[in-house]
Amino acid sequence: MKKNFSPFTFHFLPLRGQTLIEALAAITILGLVISAIGVVITTSLSNATFNENQTMATKYAQQGAEIIEQIRDDNYEAFQNYDGTYCLAKGQTTLGSPTNCTAPNTDIFIRSVTIQQNGCGANIAQVTVTVSFADGKCSSGSYCHKQVVSTCLSTQNPVQIP
């Protein structure tokens, strides 16, 4: 008797013990690949958030220096009386009394201004704007990342009033 083989007939080999080991190895490799992808994505998101915060901190520091320059330009005599560290909150255009800035005052950032009269020379104040921020890499309650902009501003009005 002749056997007919159809092209659609499937013939299975008997299962052996190696198939279970191969399946476990494949599942393990798949798990490692998925874990690696998860770590890469998480790290990328963390780095992107840090870079965004660092860019914003730099912008707030530059803006703070510009605000201090405007304060100086508006009243040179009053600017000569500023000496110490001041908080400069978002939207603020004046400096109050010297203080220690410990709480966020510009979104998630702490912006402070330190003015040292004659810090760059005679009649030249050194102005340092520091913007600090925290992320998951900082210890609890600390603002471990800082962006600093420092400049020297004359305290003498170059335009003499007649």
58-112: per-residue pLDDT in tens? 999 999 999 999 999 999 999 999 999 999 999 988 888 888 888 889 889 999 9
| pTM for the predicted model, two decimal places | 0.76
Residue type at position 137? K
pLDDT for 161 equals: 66
CB atoms within 10 A of CB 72: 20
Using alpha carbons only, what angle is made at residue 133 by residues 127 and 138, rounded to the nearest 5 degrees?
Answer: 130
* C-alpha–C-alpha distance, residues 82 and 68, integer Å: 11
CB atoms within 10 A of CB 89: 13
pLDDT band at 2 (very low <50, low <70, confident <90, very high): low
pLDDT digits (tens, 9 = 90+) for 13-67: 555 556 888 889 999 999 999 999 999 999 999 899 999 999 999 999 999 999 9
pLDDT for 99 equals: 84
pLDDT band at 125 (very low <50, low <70, confident <90, very high): very high
